[in-house]
Amino acid sequence: MPHSVYLDYNATAPVKPQVIEVMAEVMADVGNPSSVHAQGRRARKRLSRAREQVAALVGAMPDAVIFTSGGTEANNQALLTAPGQLLTSAIEHPSVQVLTDDQDALPVNDDGVIDLDRLRDRVRSQSPDLLALMLANNETGVIQPVQQVAAIIDDTPGVNLHVDAIQAAGKIPIDMVDLAADSLSLSAHKIGGPQGVGALVLREGLEPRALLRGGAQERRFRAGTENLPGIVGFGEAADLALADADYHERVRKLRDRLEREMLGLSSDVGVVGAKAPRLPNTSCLILRGVSHETQLIHFDLAGIAVSAGSACSSGKVGPSPVLTAMGHSLEDATSAIRVSLGWNSTDGDVDHFLNAAHNLLSRRKQRRHDNVASVR
């Protein structure tokens, strides 16, 4: 049995032990937050506490937080609230892209950063109702200049800004006020919380369209009994993320060593978005001439979990739309994998990955040699 190494935190992070503990306490108890008896009041107190914790993660007020089933629902609710034209970038998550027209996707440069000049022209000429932009890309880790974007659209009245902060939360500091975001989406399972719970965070006065109706929960913006164990787990994970002051530097050192040594293994290795600001945990690696299917199989057999892009494109291993939007060739876009580290990653994990990568490259070099010899 190969050593097990998990390097796919951007798909989902392992749930932190403290989160499991508090969720177990909630599941062992009883009480609906909407009930007026003692058990209901106790549940409601837990719900309120979690709302405060999640709000603190992004510098928002507790009343701004609407709990959802995850980041996809939060993005959908934010975009479906817009009364008219939506504008996005060409590298957005599928939960955003599916709700917009391809022609409304703003281009990015070869570092994966949105083209601010094109954005300025489009906003002036079209006056969209909503611009949706991710704070950090889930495949490359490239961070977008959201404050500069907000300044551009601020000159056009009536344009709201939705920020998909799902991949960035817990990895870089986030302040909703500093970002000048009108709405912001989050997901618990990216920060060591449970799957199946997220949040839409709103600026004061913004009222989203309710996708689920029939109850007064979440200020009538999302009907249905709240997933209390998941929400409490989300709150605990948010608290832990805020308290982990060393996370950024600790994980960045691991990521930088992994990239440095990978680049030293072969001239065929490239790092996507290396010149742009990036999340400290994310590395999108291109191994030219080796398909990502081959790479994923090789690393999986070595007990190492990595991915070839967004986990929300389940079962799809075609060329990455994010990389093609950045101007990479079809060959590069089908030779890229994502390595994403997190709260439980170690130097040993990086060592195992590098050893497996060395073995893959050595076999490829030997095959090339054999092919040349056979031709001769």
Which residues are tagged catalytic?
A: 312
Q: Find out whether 322 and 140 touch, Cβ atoms under 8 Å.
A: yes
Under 8 Å between Cβ of 163 and 185:
yes
Helix, strand, or coil here: 18? helix
What's the rounded Cα separation, in Å, for the pair 286 and 283?
10
Distances (CA, A) of 37 to 27, 42, 43, 47, 52: 18, 9, 10, 15, 23
Placement of tokens 């950063």 in the chain: 113
In whole angstroms, give the CA distance from residue 16 to residue 54: 16
Of 64, 45, 19, 98, the C-alpha closest to 199 is 64
102 contact partners, CB below 8 Å, separation of at least 6 = none
Integer Cα distance of 122 and 124 in angstroms: 5
> At 60, which amino acid appears?
A
